[in-house]
Amino acid sequence: MSLNFELMLAFRYLRQNSKFSIMTLFSIIGITIGVATLITVMSVMNGFKAQLFETILGVNGHIVVYFDKDINSNYNQVVESIKNIDGVSNATATTENQVIIKSKSNISGALVYGIAKEDLIRKNIIADHINRGSIKEFDEGIIIGSRLAENLGINYGDYITLVLSEELTDLLDEMPKMKEYRVVATFYTEMPDYDSMLIYIPLKEAQLFFDYQDSIKSIEIFINDLDKAPQLAKTIEEQTSMQTKDWQSLQSYYFNALKTERSVMFLILALIIVVAAFNIVSSLITLVQDKKSAIAIMRTIGATKGSIMRVFCFCGFIIGFIGTFLGCIIGVVFSLNVERIRIFLEHIANVQFLDPMVYFFSTLPVILLPEDVVKVSLLSLSLSLIATIPSAIKAASTNPAEILRYE
């Protein structure tokens, strides 16, 4: 038989018996749900990963050089030499210290970053997320996270006191160092860990208050290609003779956990397609049993075992193709509108599904990658084709003489 005839026969078998059509429909629905779910989940996981990269690396830098004034006391010279390295987009001199913050109504702990105004303006994750006040006034005060401002019960324009105490015993032995600063702006990054603990202070003021004596603690480096961070870190370490760490080692716990979660979610949700593939197996076995007389007749008029196998392979592949096609459409549409759907469901149910204090984000970030759609589609079609093998073998091994004897 020709391939066209075999394909036509497969379509006819799938549509002929109304009872089997219902089983076929459920198989198609199972494939569709599995494919759509996988595409949507992968898109959301991609969005989470990208937003984590943007926020975490935007605040902390891609590579950190721990400045050692015993090697080179001129940090500006070191910063400029790093900027000239191929692949480095920017380098920022910073200080970092823990303090106690006191307002008129509350007290809290915080992490204070000392940074020059021009460098803070280039730090987009902060500069683009100022929700109160102005970054232009940074030289006149400090900038703090919006959640920290809420905890302290203050607004921009108010004053807070920074209390420097390296150890608790300092509070008992002598009066700790403290100074009052005006809050000139607040920022909101959608990362509670940052919004509730970060303070930015002008570099010169930080050097004075924390007694750095015209030095710094570290240099944050931003690069053009994140994948080259380990190689660039090694190059910078060789050039400066100072210790360096790249983002893959500094933030590995975040991104390794996310990578593992993404892989596990893919495997778990792929089981939906596996279950749907088992439905295809049972449907085709039922079809083979129903069509055994037709199979016997075709064998007697010259149809080969391979031809019979291809007919039933086409049956399973058609089910898988239709389910995969519909699943891709639904998955893509759902992924592109998942935030609108979330808002609609929250409005209907009057429940907040995405608490930023738990999930770090107040909106569902989604990035739909074509390679994910292709990967899921290939997985679905492959499983559908594999599912046809038992029934196709059963059909090809049918003995026409035994069947026709009782017809």
Helix ranges (H only) for 217-251 are 229-240, 247-250
pLDDT > 90 in the chain, percent: 25
Tell me the average pLDDT of the chain: 83
pLDDT one-digit tens code per residue, 73-82: 899 999 999 9
Helices (H), 174-251: 192-195, 203-209, 229-240, 247-250
Residue 352 pLDDT exceeds 70: no
pLDDT in tens, 266-280: 888 888 888 888 888
Mean pLDDT value across residues 324-341: 91
> What is the structure's pLDDT at 166?
60
Total number of residues shown for the chain = 407
| Least reliable range by pLDDT among 87-91, 267-271, 363-367, 398-402 | 398-402
Terminal alpha carbon distance of the chain: 24
What's the angle, vertex CA 287, arms to CA 282 and CA 289, rounded to 5?
A: 95
Calculate the dihedral angle through the C-alpha atoms of 394, 400, 402, 406, rounding to the nearest 10 degrees: 120
Cα separation, 56 vs 33, in Å, equals: 34
* 80-130 pLDDT per residue, tens: 999 999 989 889 999 999 898 988 888 888 999 999 999 998 888 888 888
**Mind listing the pLDDT tens digit for each residue in 375-389?**
999 999 998 888 888
Q: Is the pLDDT of residue 171 over 60?
A: no
Domain-by-domain residue ranges, the chain? 3-54+254-404, 68-241
- Express each pLDDT in 334-350 by its tens digit: 998 888 888 887 778 77
Whole-angstrom Cα distance, residue 34 to residue 31?
Answer: 5
